Amino acid sequence: MNTVYFAKYIYMDNGEILLNGAVSVRNGIIEDAGPRGKIKRVRDERIVNLGDMLLLPGFINMHTHLEEGPIRGFTKDGGESFTAWNNKRYSRMRQLTEEQICKSIKLSAREHVSQGTTTIVDFSRTGFSASVLADEPVRAVIIKDVVYERFLEHGIAQIESWSGEKNALKYGIAPHALYSLSVRGHRRLIEHGYKNERLWACHLAESSEELQAFCEHSGDFFFSLTRNRPWLAGDEKIGSVHYALRHNLIPSYGILIHCNYINSYELALLAAKRAFVTLCFRYSKEMGHKSFPLEAANRRGVQICLGTEGMMPPGELSLFDELFHLKQAYPHISASEMIRWVTKNPAAALRVSDKLGSISPGKYADIIGARFPYRDGDDILETLLMSDPDVAFVLIDGKEVIVS
């Protein structure tokens, strides 16, 4: 059956806000979007009037660790080093059962949907999310997170076994970080990605302790990594981004997470590679990391996406919250540009711009609706980002997940 959704405002593909618009959906695909009077009508259509909502394309969270849900809210103490916190984090993860992890993945996915995220990019060490998210009403992109070189081939085999899972939009494989693999191991994953059209991603330049490990081969982080295995990044003492670029370990259109410790020259090289950088703004601030040089990146044309990581406390996985804090920190960056960071840019990074990222004919019917206080004459998108919107409508693959 064809369903037509009426709403007071619709955020259109060209960035404009359409007043009193409609979106026509059939078989999970957007057929048309435009003024109410110009939408083609058919006899058997169903009409849903959503009232004073603003309709937007469903948000895409480009970085989560859903399996870390049982230890969410485990924050770093003020005087604690990132290395010490990280070691405790993984110690706690090793104590979890498969049942605990799977239940947490399910609950976290539902929390994301309730807050307007319709596509989750989940970085998974265990791989449990591939089967759990197959039964959840959310689009999933599963990235196998390879932490140790000895598990590299197992990781490749694991993602091949996931093919055909329901709701899975894409699969990928990620060296957890540059220090996780040797140059040879990194190139093996890059070659596999090119050959099999898999997404490639990597955590990069997250902490000052990582920078110290690469530049000096010293510090708690370095000694923690090399306690039971060799340092895989060779004898060079250079920054992690410099190391990756020198050895050509970042493929074109690669997805990089964090990049907090990076300079302008390196940003320009990433822009030339058409790389995407995913910011986890609140998480990085909570950890005490240096902020990603966002304004310099914008000037150089680096494409930005947003994620929430996995450690934010319950109730705080909302991309609207990420946008709110970013808008407070960078008020001069337009709300329209920031919304691209959770819609069009992630769709491009995932190589699905023809399917997601905007309310446009032919794309998947993944749409959210938000209610928030708004006065005539205000910029509606600026008001949206500075408010606490009620996500009252979520449509995924043409199925109504939330209508209130």
Give tens-digit pLDDT for 263-298: 999 999 999 999 999 999 999 998 899 999 999 999
Residue whose entry in the numeric block shows the structure tokens 């140059």 = 183
Amino acid at residue number 83: T
Provide the pLDDT for residue 313: 62
Domains in the chain, number: 2
Say if residue 312 is in the same domain as residue 372.
no
Provide the pLDDT for residue 164: 62
Say if residue 198 is in the same domain as residue 267.
yes
Per the structure block, which two tokens stand in for 263?
């300079």
Say if residue 44 is in the same domain as residue 185.
no
- Cα(214)–Cα(233) distance, integer angstroms: 8
Say if residue 144 is in the same domain as residue 207.
yes
Q: Summarize pLDDT for 184-231 with one digit per residue, the tens.
A: 999 999 999 999 999 999 999 999 999 999 999 999 999 999 998 999
Say if residue 286 is in the same domain as residue 372.
no
Partners of 54 in beta bridges? 9, 370
pLDDT of 77 over the 90 cut: no
Burial of 8 (0-12, 13-18, 19+ CB in 10 A): buried
Say if residue 136 is in the same domain as residue 201.
yes
Say if residue 167 is in the same domain as residue 190.
yes
Q: Summarize pLDDT for 19-67 with one digit per residue, the tens.
A: 999 999 999 999 999 999 888 767 778 999 999 999 999 999 999 999 9
**How confident is the model over 257-268, as a mean pLDDT?**
97
Say if residue 156 is in the same domain as residue 38.
no
Domain that holds residue 209: 59-349
What is the CATH number for 82? 3.20.20.140
What is the CATH number for 390? 2.30.40.10
Say if residue 103 is in the same domain as residue 185.
yes
- Cα(89)–Cα(147) distance, integer angstroms: 15
pLDDT of 79 over the 90 cut: no
| Closest C-alpha among 160, 170, 225 to residue 200 | 170
Say if residue 46 is in the same domain as residue 119.
no
Say if residue 65 is in the same domain as residue 207.
yes
